[in-house]
Structure 1
């Protein structure tokens, strides 16, 4: 007589949810919102599509959860405000973006072609980044200055990643960094 109950596989809801989010992040960074299906994500994780829906509801809800898990740029608002432009310029010119930040950027870029995804990205960016950044910049016209700074930062970051770096001499990089620092700081100081 067997005294032990039959073996049952332990379920780990948090791990499954995390695996679904990771798979969705990879899919949304690699393909447009409209081309990603819940079944694709479920297959990547090895679960049934119904389970993905049970955890996240709709594809829209899953996409929002992925956006919420991406870097929101809050580190931009940390540190000494007087040296902000210098810090950000140095990071833009000399530091490679971690893969997690690149995926978030790719998701935003790929979302432009989808009306629904674009709307979700805009709402998330306004709530999680642009609003807090504008408040941090402060009045007068904090929203304008924050948008200008964010646009310049994103443009330079995307340009760097697209070209694989700046392909400039050390002196040129230093010149770029110093000029960029002054410009960025000007947006903050008003």
Structure 2
């Protein structure tokens, strides 16, 4: 009898396996992805930690363990969408033509669209807008001003960002195109390029 019990007991872990051990890196990535989706689709004030936890299938306390507060998670989600460093990766002399072509013709990457959506959704929340402003200053405007250098770098950086984001939003409102003929798109690119370049050259 005793030996039979021992044999049966040895099968318990196989018959009743416990929860699978989580991969910490994969779980953190899943949480960040879910947060990015939520903050891009809803305003900051309408998103709860429990909503994100439910999307991932984890306990809300686990999100706090990985990211801290909701504010910390919001900033992490925004930061994960990119910092605009690609704008500063090419030659300054070719900036206007290169970026104008990208704005008019090249499809936006998914993470950039998410970042744009998160920023637009944050407008209605004073708290979120403050975090967006702080994040953009640290990750984008500061480096851009240093890269531009010269007189009025701060003003030029803001104007440059305004042109780029404004044109990008206009394109996305059209479903990813400007809804004009190809020849007109070329004219738009050719007119936009010297405007952008003038802000680079100072």
SS in 1 for 2:156: helix
Is 1:169 matched with 2:178? no
1:168-188 superposed Cα distances (whole Å, 9 cap, x missing partner): 222211111011000000000
TM superposition score normalised by structure 2:
0.90
Q: Flag structure 1 segments of 5+ consecutive residues without an equivalent.
A: none
Number of the residue aligned with 1:188: 200
C-alpha change, 1:5 and 1:72, in structure 2 (3 Å) is farther
SS in 1 for 2:124: coil
Is 1:160 matched with 2:167? no
1:32-53 superposed Cα distances (whole Å, 9 cap, x missing partner): 0000000000000001111111
TM superposition score normalised by structure 1:
0.95
**Displacement of 1:156 after TM fit?**
0.3
Q: C-alpha separation between the residues in 1 aligned to 2:108 and 2:182?
A: 19
5 Å matches for 1:4-153? 6=13, 7-8=17-18, 9-153=20-164
Worse-superposed segment, 114-123 or 161-170 = 161-170
Q: Flag structure 2 segments of 5+ consecutive residues without an equivalent.
A: 1-6
**Displacement of 1:11 after TM fit?**
2.1
**Displacement of 1:159 after TM fit?**
0.4
SS in 2 for 1:93: helix
Are the equivalent residues in 2 in contact too, given 1:134–1:143 (CA < 8 A)?
A: yes
Note the aligned Cα RMSD (angstroms). Answer: 1.4
1:67-118 superposed Cα distances (whole Å, 9 cap, x missing partner): 1211111000011111100000000010111221111100000001001100
Q: C-alpha separation between the residues in 2 aligned to 1:91 and 1:60?
A: 32
Q: C-alpha separation between the residues in 2 aligned to 1:166 and 1:144?
A: 28
